[in-house]
Protein backbone atom coordinates (compact mmCIF):
# COMPACT_ATOMS: atom_id res chain seq x y z
CA UNK A 1 0.00 0.00 0.00
CA UNK A 2 1.34 3.44 -0.96
CA UNK A 3 0.99 6.03 1.79
CA UNK A 4 1.37 9.77 2.05
CA UNK A 5 0.32 12.29 4.65
CA UNK A 6 -1.30 15.70 4.38
CA UNK A 7 0.41 17.63 7.18
CA UNK A 8 -2.02 20.05 8.79
CA UNK A 9 -1.30 19.74 12.49
CA UNK A 10 -4.27 18.28 14.35
CA UNK A 11 -6.17 18.07 11.04
CA UNK A 12 -3.50 15.90 9.36
CA UNK A 13 -4.60 12.71 7.61
CA UNK A 14 -3.34 9.92 5.41
CA UNK A 15 -3.93 9.17 1.75
CA UNK A 16 -3.64 5.40 1.19
CA UNK A 17 -3.42 3.96 -2.33
CA UNK A 18 -3.68 0.27 -3.24
CA UNK A 19 -5.46 -2.33 -5.37
CA UNK A 20 -8.53 -4.14 -4.08
CA UNK A 21 -8.58 -2.40 -0.69
CA UNK A 22 -12.22 -1.27 -0.60
CA UNK A 23 -13.29 -4.37 1.43
CA UNK A 24 -10.78 -3.39 4.15
CA UNK A 25 -12.30 0.00 4.94
CA UNK A 26 -14.22 -1.22 8.01
CA UNK A 27 -11.06 -2.53 9.63
CA UNK A 28 -9.31 0.77 8.97
CA UNK A 29 -12.12 2.79 10.57
CA UNK A 30 -11.57 0.98 13.87
CA UNK A 31 -8.51 3.23 14.29
CA UNK A 32 -10.70 6.35 14.49
CA UNK A 33 -12.64 7.70 17.47
CA UNK A 34 -16.03 7.64 15.80
CA UNK A 35 -19.44 6.28 16.70
CA UNK A 36 -20.99 3.16 15.24
CA UNK A 37 -23.44 5.06 13.01
CA UNK A 38 -21.88 5.60 9.57
CA UNK A 39 -23.66 7.09 6.57
CA UNK A 40 -22.55 5.94 3.14
CA UNK A 41 -23.26 8.70 0.59
CA UNK A 42 -23.17 7.57 -3.04
CA UNK A 43 -25.12 7.45 -6.29
CA UNK A 44 -27.04 4.44 -7.64
CA UNK A 45 -24.45 3.56 -10.29
CA UNK A 46 -21.47 3.49 -7.92
CA UNK A 47 -23.42 1.90 -5.09
CA UNK A 48 -24.40 -0.98 -7.35
CA UNK A 49 -20.72 -1.61 -8.10
CA UNK A 50 -19.14 -1.12 -4.68
CA UNK A 51 -21.84 -0.46 -2.08
CA UNK A 52 -22.14 -4.05 -0.88
CA UNK A 53 -18.37 -4.35 -0.38
CA UNK A 54 -18.31 -1.21 1.76
CA UNK A 55 -21.40 -1.96 3.85
CA UNK A 56 -20.34 -5.58 4.44
CA UNK A 57 -16.91 -4.42 5.57
CA UNK A 58 -18.49 -1.91 7.97
CA UNK A 59 -20.94 -4.43 9.41
CA UNK A 60 -18.16 -6.97 9.89
CA UNK A 61 -16.35 -4.55 12.20
CA UNK A 62 -19.46 -3.62 14.18
CA UNK A 63 -20.48 -0.41 12.43
CA UNK A 64 -24.09 0.42 11.60
CA UNK A 65 -24.12 1.67 7.98
CA UNK A 66 -26.94 3.81 6.63
CA UNK A 67 -27.12 4.47 2.89
CA UNK A 68 -28.12 7.77 1.27
CA UNK A 69 -28.14 7.87 -2.54
CA UNK A 70 -28.38 10.97 -4.72
CA UNK A 71 -28.67 11.09 -8.53
CA UNK A 72 -25.50 10.86 -10.61
CA UNK A 73 -24.15 14.07 -12.13
CA UNK A 74 -22.86 17.59 -11.50
CA UNK A 75 -26.42 18.93 -11.81
CA UNK A 76 -27.24 17.37 -8.45
CA UNK A 77 -24.37 18.92 -6.50
CA UNK A 78 -26.56 21.69 -5.12
CA UNK A 79 -28.08 22.90 -1.86
CA UNK A 80 -31.32 20.97 -2.49
CA UNK A 81 -29.55 17.60 -2.41
CA UNK A 82 -27.31 18.71 0.47
CA UNK A 83 -30.49 19.54 2.41
CA UNK A 84 -31.90 16.13 1.45
CA UNK A 85 -28.85 14.36 2.91
CA UNK A 86 -29.04 16.43 6.10
CA UNK A 87 -32.73 15.57 6.49
CA UNK A 88 -31.98 11.86 6.15
CA UNK A 89 -29.21 12.11 8.76
CA UNK A 90 -31.48 13.91 11.23
CA UNK A 91 -34.30 11.41 10.69
CA UNK A 92 -31.88 8.56 11.39
CA UNK A 93 -30.44 10.03 14.59
CA UNK A 94 -26.92 10.87 13.47
CA UNK A 95 -24.96 12.83 16.08
CA UNK A 96 -21.55 14.51 16.43
CA UNK A 97 -19.74 11.18 16.81
CA UNK A 98 -21.23 9.82 13.60
CA UNK A 99 -19.20 9.63 10.41
CA UNK A 100 -19.96 10.08 6.71
CA UNK A 101 -18.31 8.12 3.91
CA UNK A 102 -18.21 9.55 0.38
CA UNK A 103 -18.22 6.68 -2.12
CA UNK A 104 -18.03 8.05 -5.65
CA UNK A 105 -16.50 10.78 -7.78
CA UNK A 106 -16.00 14.48 -7.22
CA UNK A 107 -19.71 15.30 -6.94
CA UNK A 108 -20.23 12.80 -4.14
CA UNK A 109 -17.00 13.80 -2.41
CA UNK A 110 -17.76 17.52 -2.57
CA UNK A 111 -21.35 17.32 -1.35
CA UNK A 112 -20.52 14.79 1.38
CA UNK A 113 -17.68 16.94 2.66
CA UNK A 114 -19.91 20.01 2.59
CA UNK A 115 -22.65 18.27 4.57
CA UNK A 116 -20.06 16.94 7.04
CA UNK A 117 -18.73 20.47 7.54
CA UNK A 118 -22.10 21.96 8.49
CA UNK A 119 -23.99 19.05 10.10
CA UNK A 120 -24.07 19.82 13.83
CA UNK A 121 -21.21 22.28 13.14
CA UNK A 122 -18.96 19.58 11.77
CA UNK A 123 -18.60 15.79 11.88
CA UNK A 124 -15.90 13.44 10.48
CA UNK A 125 -15.97 12.10 6.94
CA UNK A 126 -13.97 9.65 4.85
CA UNK A 127 -13.25 9.86 1.14
CA UNK A 128 -13.38 6.72 -1.02
CA UNK A 129 -12.94 8.28 -4.48
CA UNK A 130 -13.85 6.00 -7.39
CA UNK A 131 -12.87 8.22 -10.33
CA UNK A 132 -9.40 9.33 -11.39
CA UNK A 133 -10.44 12.96 -11.10
CA UNK A 134 -11.54 12.53 -7.50
CA UNK A 135 -8.54 10.40 -6.57
CA UNK A 136 -5.98 13.00 -7.65
CA UNK A 137 -7.88 16.19 -6.92
CA UNK A 138 -11.16 16.70 -5.10
CA UNK A 139 -10.72 14.01 -2.42
CA UNK A 140 -7.53 15.64 -1.10
CA UNK A 141 -7.30 19.13 0.36
CA UNK A 142 -10.55 19.71 2.19
CA UNK A 143 -12.34 21.98 -0.26
CA UNK A 144 -16.05 21.16 -0.07
CA UNK A 145 -18.88 22.83 -1.94
CA UNK A 146 -22.14 22.75 -3.82
CA UNK A 147 -22.98 24.71 -6.95
CA UNK A 148 -25.21 27.72 -7.54
CA UNK A 149 -26.86 28.45 -10.92
CA UNK A 150 -24.67 31.56 -11.19
CA UNK A 151 -21.39 29.82 -10.44
CA UNK A 152 -19.69 26.54 -9.61
CA UNK A 153 -18.70 25.76 -6.00
CA UNK A 154 -19.99 29.11 -4.75
CA UNK A 155 -21.42 27.62 -1.53
CA UNK A 156 -18.75 25.78 0.41
CA UNK A 157 -16.26 25.45 3.22
CA UNK A 158 -12.83 24.09 4.10
CA UNK A 159 -13.28 20.79 5.96
CA UNK A 160 -10.55 18.16 5.86
CA UNK A 161 -11.40 14.45 5.62
CA UNK A 162 -10.15 12.01 8.25
CA UNK A 163 -8.86 9.61 5.60
CA UNK A 164 -8.61 9.26 1.83
CA UNK A 165 -8.86 5.59 0.81
CA UNK A 166 -7.98 5.01 -2.86
CA UNK A 167 -8.56 1.69 -4.65
CA UNK A 168 -7.19 1.93 -8.20
CA UNK A 169 -9.23 -1.12 -9.21
CA UNK A 170 -12.28 1.18 -9.28
CA UNK A 171 -10.82 2.70 -12.46
CA UNK A 172 -11.55 -0.59 -14.27
CA UNK A 173 -15.26 0.26 -14.23
CA UNK A 174 -14.78 3.94 -15.04
CA UNK A 175 -16.04 4.92 -18.52
CA UNK A 176 -13.24 5.86 -20.91
CA UNK A 177 -14.42 9.45 -21.28
CA UNK A 178 -14.39 9.97 -17.50
CA UNK A 179 -10.94 8.40 -17.18
CA UNK A 180 -9.53 10.72 -19.83
CA UNK A 181 -11.28 13.67 -18.20
CA UNK A 182 -9.48 12.87 -14.95
CA UNK A 183 -6.14 12.95 -16.75
CA UNK A 184 -6.56 16.71 -17.22
CA UNK A 185 -6.08 17.24 -13.48
CA UNK A 186 -3.13 14.82 -13.46
CA UNK A 187 -1.45 16.78 -16.27
CA UNK A 188 -2.19 20.00 -14.39
CA UNK A 189 0.15 18.94 -11.58
CA UNK A 190 3.02 18.62 -14.01
CA UNK A 191 2.36 22.07 -15.44
CA UNK A 192 2.03 23.85 -12.11
CA UNK A 193 4.74 22.09 -10.11
CA UNK A 194 6.91 19.38 -11.69
CA UNK A 195 8.37 19.40 -15.20
CA UNK A 196 9.76 15.87 -14.71
CA UNK A 197 6.29 14.60 -13.87
CA UNK A 198 4.96 16.35 -17.00
CA UNK A 199 7.58 14.51 -19.08
CA UNK A 200 6.83 11.18 -17.38
CA UNK A 201 3.18 11.55 -18.35
CA UNK A 202 4.09 12.46 -21.92
CA UNK A 203 6.43 9.46 -22.29
CA UNK A 204 4.01 6.94 -20.76
CA UNK A 205 0.85 7.92 -22.62
CA UNK A 206 0.15 4.42 -23.97
CA UNK A 207 0.62 2.68 -20.61
CA UNK A 208 -1.59 5.24 -18.90
CA UNK A 209 -4.36 4.95 -21.48
CA UNK A 210 -4.20 1.15 -21.14
CA UNK A 211 -4.70 1.68 -17.39
CA UNK A 212 -1.66 -0.34 -16.42
CA UNK A 213 -1.86 -0.49 -12.64
CA UNK A 214 1.81 0.14 -11.87
CA UNK A 215 1.91 3.44 -13.77
CA UNK A 216 -1.55 4.42 -12.45
CA UNK A 217 -0.47 4.00 -8.84
CA UNK A 218 2.72 5.96 -9.61
CA UNK A 219 0.96 8.94 -11.18
CA UNK A 220 -1.88 9.01 -8.63
CA UNK A 221 0.61 9.01 -5.77
CA UNK A 222 2.72 11.77 -7.33
CA UNK A 223 -0.32 13.92 -8.06
CA UNK A 224 -1.52 13.50 -4.47
CA UNK A 225 1.99 14.26 -3.16
CA UNK A 226 2.04 17.54 -5.03
CA UNK A 227 -1.40 18.52 -3.82
CA UNK A 228 -0.57 17.49 -0.25
CA UNK A 229 2.59 19.62 -0.30
CA UNK A 230 0.73 22.66 -1.60
CA UNK A 231 -2.18 22.27 0.83
CA UNK A 232 0.16 21.72 3.78
CA UNK A 233 1.82 25.06 3.01
CA UNK A 234 -1.41 26.98 2.33
CA UNK A 235 -4.57 25.24 3.55
CA UNK A 236 -7.00 28.10 2.93
CA UNK A 237 -5.66 29.47 -0.32
CA UNK A 238 -4.13 32.71 0.88
CA UNK A 239 -1.37 32.46 -1.74
CA UNK A 240 0.35 29.29 -2.99
CA UNK A 241 -2.73 27.05 -3.11
CA UNK A 242 -4.15 29.28 -5.82
CA UNK A 243 -1.90 27.47 -8.32
CA UNK A 244 -4.24 24.47 -8.01
CA UNK A 245 -6.86 26.65 -9.72
CA UNK A 246 -4.92 26.72 -12.98
CA UNK A 247 -7.40 26.22 -15.81
CA UNK A 248 -10.35 26.56 -13.47
CA UNK A 249 -11.25 30.23 -14.00
CA UNK A 250 -12.12 29.68 -17.65
CA UNK A 251 -13.00 26.02 -17.11
CA UNK A 252 -15.61 26.74 -14.44
CA UNK A 253 -17.15 29.44 -16.64
CA UNK A 254 -17.53 26.88 -19.44
CA UNK A 255 -19.22 24.45 -17.05
CA UNK A 256 -21.55 27.12 -15.67
CA UNK A 257 -22.61 28.45 -19.08
CA UNK A 258 -23.23 24.96 -20.48
CA UNK A 259 -25.39 23.99 -17.50
CA UNK A 260 -22.89 21.45 -16.12
CA UNK A 261 -24.09 19.02 -18.78
CA UNK A 262 -22.05 19.43 -21.99
CA UNK A 263 -18.54 18.97 -20.59
CA UNK A 264 -17.09 16.77 -17.90
CA UNK A 265 -15.09 18.74 -15.34
CA UNK A 266 -11.69 17.66 -16.66
CA UNK A 267 -12.70 18.47 -20.23
CA UNK A 268 -13.63 22.02 -19.28
CA UNK A 269 -10.43 22.38 -17.25
CA UNK A 270 -8.38 21.16 -20.22
CA UNK A 271 -9.79 23.96 -22.37
CA UNK A 272 -9.28 26.39 -19.49
CA UNK A 273 -5.62 25.41 -19.12
CA UNK A 274 -4.98 25.99 -22.83
CA UNK A 275 -6.59 29.43 -22.89
CA UNK A 276 -5.00 30.50 -19.62
CA UNK A 277 -1.64 29.40 -21.05
CA UNK A 278 -2.43 31.42 -24.20
CA UNK A 279 -3.14 34.41 -21.97
CA UNK A 280 0.23 33.94 -20.28
CA UNK A 281 1.86 33.86 -23.71
CA UNK A 282 0.02 37.02 -24.84
CA UNK A 283 1.18 38.79 -21.66
CA UNK A 284 4.78 37.80 -22.41
CA UNK A 285 5.36 35.27 -19.63
CA UNK A 286 5.08 31.84 -21.29
CA UNK A 287 7.20 31.05 -24.34
CA UNK A 288 5.59 29.64 -27.46
CA UNK A 289 7.31 26.26 -27.16
CA UNK A 290 5.91 25.65 -23.67
CA UNK A 291 2.45 26.71 -24.84
CA UNK A 292 2.63 24.13 -27.64
CA UNK A 293 3.79 21.45 -25.19
CA UNK A 294 0.76 22.10 -23.00
CA UNK A 295 -1.63 22.01 -25.95
CA UNK A 296 -0.06 18.88 -27.41
CA UNK A 297 -0.04 16.75 -24.26
CA UNK A 298 -3.71 17.51 -23.61
CA UNK A 299 -4.65 16.83 -27.22
CA UNK A 300 -2.60 13.61 -27.32
CA UNK A 301 -4.44 12.25 -24.29
CA UNK A 302 -7.74 12.89 -26.06
CA UNK A 303 -8.78 16.04 -24.21
CA UNK A 304 -10.45 19.07 -25.84
CA UNK A 305 -8.36 22.22 -26.28
CA UNK A 306 -10.77 24.62 -28.02
CA UNK A 307 -13.72 26.64 -26.79
CA UNK A 308 -17.13 25.60 -28.12
CA UNK A 309 -17.98 27.40 -31.35
CA UNK A 310 -21.27 28.77 -30.01
CA UNK A 311 -19.84 30.19 -26.78
CA UNK A 312 -21.29 33.56 -25.76
CA UNK A 313 -18.10 35.45 -24.91
CA UNK A 314 -19.84 38.37 -23.20
CA UNK A 315 -21.68 35.95 -20.91
CA UNK A 316 -18.41 34.12 -20.32
CA UNK A 317 -16.60 37.27 -19.24
CA UNK A 318 -19.50 38.16 -16.95
CA UNK A 319 -19.29 34.70 -15.35
CA UNK A 320 -15.51 34.93 -14.98
CA UNK A 321 -15.89 38.26 -13.20
CA UNK A 322 -17.94 36.43 -10.53
CA UNK A 323 -15.04 34.03 -9.88
CA UNK A 324 -14.19 33.50 -6.20
CA UNK A 325 -10.53 34.38 -6.77
CA UNK A 326 -11.33 37.96 -7.78
CA UNK A 327 -10.78 40.61 -5.12
CA UNK A 328 -12.67 43.93 -4.95
CA UNK A 329 -13.81 43.59 -8.54
CA UNK A 330 -10.30 43.01 -9.87
CA UNK A 331 -9.77 39.97 -12.08
CA UNK A 332 -6.99 37.75 -10.74
CA UNK A 333 -5.69 34.56 -12.30
CA UNK A 334 -2.86 32.06 -12.07
CA UNK A 335 -1.03 30.93 -15.18
CA UNK A 336 2.23 29.21 -16.14
CA UNK A 337 5.48 31.06 -16.70
CA UNK A 338 7.12 27.74 -17.63
CA UNK A 339 6.32 24.05 -17.23
CA UNK A 340 6.59 23.61 -13.46
CA UNK A 341 6.46 27.31 -12.54
CA UNK A 342 3.39 29.48 -11.99
CA UNK A 343 2.57 33.16 -11.69
CA UNK A 344 0.14 33.60 -8.80
CA UNK A 345 -2.86 35.93 -8.52
CA UNK A 346 -1.77 38.18 -11.35
CA UNK A 347 -4.21 40.99 -12.07
CA UNK A 348 -5.38 41.08 -15.69
CA UNK A 349 -7.66 43.38 -17.63
CA UNK A 350 -10.94 42.58 -19.32
CA UNK A 351 -9.30 43.55 -22.60
CA UNK A 352 -6.63 40.88 -22.21
CA UNK A 353 -9.31 38.35 -21.39
CA UNK A 354 -11.39 39.33 -24.43
CA UNK A 355 -8.30 39.08 -26.62
CA UNK A 356 -7.49 35.50 -25.60
CA UNK A 357 -11.11 34.30 -25.74
CA UNK A 358 -11.52 35.63 -29.26
CA UNK A 359 -8.19 34.28 -30.48
Binding-site annotation, residues for NAD(+): 72-77, 106-110, 130-131, 143, 152, 170-173
The 3-class secondary structure across the chain, one letter per residue, is: CEEEEECCHHHCEEEEEECCCHHHHHHHHCCCCCCCEEEEEECHHHHHHHHHHHHHHHHHCCCEEEEEECCCCHHHCEHHHHHHHHHHHHHCCCCCCCEEEEEECHHHHHHHHHHHHHHHHCCCEEEEECCHHHHHHHCCCCEEEEEECCEEEEEEEECCCCEEEEEHHHHHHCCHHHHHHHHHHHHHHHHHCCHHHHHHHHHCHHHHHCCCHHHHHHHHHHHHHHHHHHHHHCCCCCCHHHHHHCCHHHHHHHHHHCCCCCCCHHHHHHHHHHHHHHHHHHCCCCCHHHHHHHHHHHHHCCCCCCCCCCCCHHHHHHHHCCCCCCECCECEEEEEEECCEEEEEEECCHHHHHHHHCC
Catalytic residue (one of 237, 255, 267, 276): 237
Nearest to 73 by CA among 40, 110, 101: 110
Q: How far apart are CA 238 and CA 247, in angstroms?
A: 18
Catalytic residue (one of 10, 121, 288, 328): 121
Catalytic residue (one of 88, 188, 221, 248): 248
Catalytic residue (one of 88, 147, 153, 185): 185
Confirm whether 241 is a catalytic residue: yes
Q: Within 10 Å of residue 271's Cβ, how many Cβ atoms?
A: 24
Q: How far apart are CA 333 and CA 287, in angstroms?
A: 18
Confirm whether 328 is a catalytic residue: no
Confirm whether 196 is a catalytic residue: no
Confirm whether 148 is a catalytic residue: no
Catalytic residue (one of 221, 222, 227, 293): 227
- In this structure, the strands spanning 13-18 and 163-167 are parallel
Catalytic residue (one of 88, 188, 221, 241): 241
Confirm whether 330 is a catalytic residue: no
Q: Write out the binding residues.
A: 72-77, 106-110, 130-131, 143, 152, 170-173, 185, 248, 265
Catalytic residue (one of 188, 221, 265, 293): 265
Q: Write out the binding residues for Zn(2+).
A: 185, 248, 265
Confirm whether 227 is a catalytic residue: yes
Q: At what angle do helices 248-257 and 313-320 cross, to 10 degrees?
A: 120
Catalytic residue (one of 143, 188, 221, 222): 143
Q: Within 10 Å of residue 99's Cβ, how many Cβ atoms?
A: 24
Confirm whether 7 is a catalytic residue: no
Give catalytic residues, as residue numbers.
121, 143, 185, 227, 237, 241, 245, 248, 252, 265
Amino acid sequence: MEKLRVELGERSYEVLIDRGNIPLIGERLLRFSIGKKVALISNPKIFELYGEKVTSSLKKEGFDPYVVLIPDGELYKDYFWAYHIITRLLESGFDRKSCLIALGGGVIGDITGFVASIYMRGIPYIQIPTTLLAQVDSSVGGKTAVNHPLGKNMIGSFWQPSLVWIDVDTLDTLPEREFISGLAEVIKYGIIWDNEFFELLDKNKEKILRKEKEILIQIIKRACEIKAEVVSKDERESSLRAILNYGHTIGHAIETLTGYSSYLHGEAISIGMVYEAKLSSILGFLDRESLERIKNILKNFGLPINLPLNMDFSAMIKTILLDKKNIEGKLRMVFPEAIGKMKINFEISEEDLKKVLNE
